[in-house]
């Protein structure tokens, strides 16, 4: 029931925001070798698709089990000369959290830290930063 409510809230929020989509093709694909969290949603390892819902929101969908999450994002700096898309994760022990998404040449979007990530971060001095290239 909670999953249904979360999905409904996320879809409603995306519809309310209703801003125009990014100028790029809007979709990135990556094979993620570990399970990770997007906000409070746990995502499995495997092939994931990231697409812009609008200028402030992203949808992350895992192809293997059809799990999906929608999250609000903030503008982030795109590294100079970025030729490939990338997903940036923070690792705390064996827990991974999606932190940033970048399209080739921009834009880049930063995900806010969830309550779960903030609580997990208290147990670690500095998280490991990992980048996964997209296709």
Could you tell me the pLDDT band of residue 93, with boundaries at 50, 70 and 90? very high
pLDDT value of residue 17: 42
pLDDT value of residue 1: 56
pLDDT value of residue 26: 80
pTM over 0.85? The answer is no
Alpha helix ranges (H) inside the chain = 2-17, 115-121
Could you tell me the pLDDT band of residue 94, with boundaries at 50, 70 and 90? very high
The total number of structural domains in the chain stands at 1
Q: Assess whether pLDDT exceeds 70 at residue 82.
A: yes
3-class state of residue 7 by DSSP: helix
Alpha-carbon distance 11 to 16, whole Å?
Answer: 9
**Contacts (Cβ under 8 Å, ≥6 apart) of 53:** 14, 17, 21, 59, 70
Q: Tens digits of per-residue pLDDT, 15-58?
A: 444 333 344 458 999 999 999 999 999 999 999 999 999 989 99
Note down the domain range covering 49: 2-133
Contact 135, 29 (CB under 8 A): yes
């Amino acid at each position: 029931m909670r999953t249904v409510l979360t999905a409904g809230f996320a879809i409603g929020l995306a519809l309310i925001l209703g801003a125009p989509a990014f100028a790029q093709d809007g979709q990135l694909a990556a094979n993620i070798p570990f399970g990770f969290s997007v906000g409070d949603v746990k995502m499995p390892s495997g092939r994931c698709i990231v697409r812009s819902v609008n200028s402030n929101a992203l949808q992350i969908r895992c192809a293997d089990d059809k799990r999906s999450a929608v999250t609000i994002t903030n503008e982030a700096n795109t590294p100079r000369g970025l030729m490939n898309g990338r997903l940036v994760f923070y690792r705390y022990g064996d827990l991974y959290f999606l932190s940033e998404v970048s399209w080739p040449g921009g834009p880049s979007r930063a995900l806010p830290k969830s309550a779960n990530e903030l609580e997990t971060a208290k147990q670690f001095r500095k998280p490991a930063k990992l980048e996964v290239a997209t296709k």
